[in-house]
Amino acid sequence: MIHSTAVIHSTAQIGEGCEIGPYCVVEEHAVLGAGCKLRSHVVIGGHTVLGRENEIFPFACLGQKTQDLKWKGGTTWLRVGDRNTFREYVTIHRATNDGEATVVGSHNTILAYCHIAHDCRVGSHVIMSNVGTLAGHVTVEDHAIVGGLAAVHQFCRIGKMAIIGGCSKVVQDVPPFMLADGNPAETRTLNKVGLERNGISEEAQAALKSAYKILFRDGLTVSNALVKIEAELPPLPEILHLAQFVRSSERGISK
């Protein structure tokens, strides 16, 4: 299942049942888990570890050297989980500092021309639409959606089940369960459709709607809004996660 034109380094590890198409390159110390499919013209950089059953489409390039000019050498990594789809021309770079890794979870769908920069942390069940771009050190939590042509600034965080509208410019953290849109992006409303699709209970949806109003509509400071949320709303897992995310924000939240 390895095409005759593919170039595979002798130190690369190729799992059982992998399919490697025409003109693919797998560099030294790369690891492909069982059942991975490299369609054609795919480049897997050195020190890239892929889990099982990842599908990678033509001209994608995973695990090349960071673009960060602070890189001083050493061994850096890209670590990817299982059953991800990386469409055409996707680029994902290794971390910057020796021994560190860019990490992508499992069951993600990363569409054409998306970029995930050095030191990012992308969870699982994430969707990035075409030409979505993550700068360095960005964190994307599980079940988030990044719209097409959206750009996320360095060190920002995208919360669980949040959605970013297409062509948005994200310069601050997007809280979990929310919809953000614009240039710069602002939190517009609760991501109701996303909550329903992910099976969030009606009780939790109602509580999150109240939390949204307290955070973004009552004119309170963030610290006072958090006090009110924790005092007045039930301690559901979704409310606790939202409060913890907002409290730990270093760049501030998109308001």
68 is catalytic: no
99 is catalytic: no
**DSSP structure string for the chain:** -B-TT-EE-TT-EE-TT-EE-TT-EE-TT-EE-TT-EE-SS-EE-TTEEE-SS-EE-TT-EEEEPP--TT---S--EEEE-SS-EE-TT-EEE--SSTT-EEEE-SS-EE-TT-EE-TT-EE-SS-EE-TT-EE-TT-EE-TT-EE-TT-EE-TT-EE-TT-EE-TT-EE-SBB-TTEEEEETTEEEEEE-HHHHHHTT--HHHHHHHHHHHHHHHTS---HHHHHHHHHHHS---HHHHHHHHHHHT-SS-B--
The one catalytic residue in 41, 47, 115, 118 is: 118
33 is catalytic: no
The one catalytic residue in 33, 45, 123, 136 is: 136
The one catalytic residue in 82, 119, 142, 181 is: 119
Catalytic residues: 118-119, 136
